[in-house]
Structure 1
Amino acid sequence: MAERYSSFAPGGTAWLLQRITAAFLVVVLAFHFFQLHFVNHAADVTWQGTQIRMQNLGYFLVMVSFLIAGTFHGVNGVYNALVNQGLSGTPKKVVLAVLTIASVALIAQGIYVALVMAGMIY
């Protein structure tokens, strides 16, 4: 029987953060889905309604946390999947650098959009 290999070292920081962000994302995704499909039906979601929701500090912080956790979880998962497939050496470093830069850009853009939606900047 083949041995199972995982780039996640059980008990390591990346392993722990992957599980914490997974649990967080399940809860926040349920909240997000409930909020935007049952409380506010998708057809009724407007820019003004989004601005009102984003002006609530709790909602704003949850959505920014959702963005950060989702980005980390997704990018960390993709990176580790590539490592599990045999990515190593210089290509591994290049992929890590590209994914890190893309993650920072995505989070920066997302926070900027959240700040605009909350009316904190124009």
Structure 2
Amino acid sequence: MSELLTIHDVPVLLCAPEGGTIGGERDALDLIGDAGYQGAQWVVLPVERFDEAFFRLSTRVAGDIIQKFVQYAMGLVVLGDISRHTKDSSALRDFVGECNRGRQTWFLADIEELREWLKS
């Protein structure tokens, strides 16, 4: 289940926490297609939807998924608390920091934080 919202004139596909696990490129392409069909510029995915491998950078799952979003010029927001993943991984902390400096993929705590980011 997903909902198309407009936040600061930006169409955003907000995905429900319940639903299929996002674990690879095929899942990413399905989301990108759905979002594009609905006219969204960003897909907001709750952290619960990601396969655990996404948060282990050595698996390359995060890179593969994010690359698909980049290829199709669709923004991706990983929404929710990922501290249990970043507390033991300096590489993941660095990756999140790098992503959040860009305009393509953001790791944000909640919808209110997304509203602030889209305002600027």
TM-score normalized by the length of structure 2: 0.29
**Higher relative contact order by CA 8 Å / sep ≥ 6: 1 or 2?**
1
Higher helix share: 1
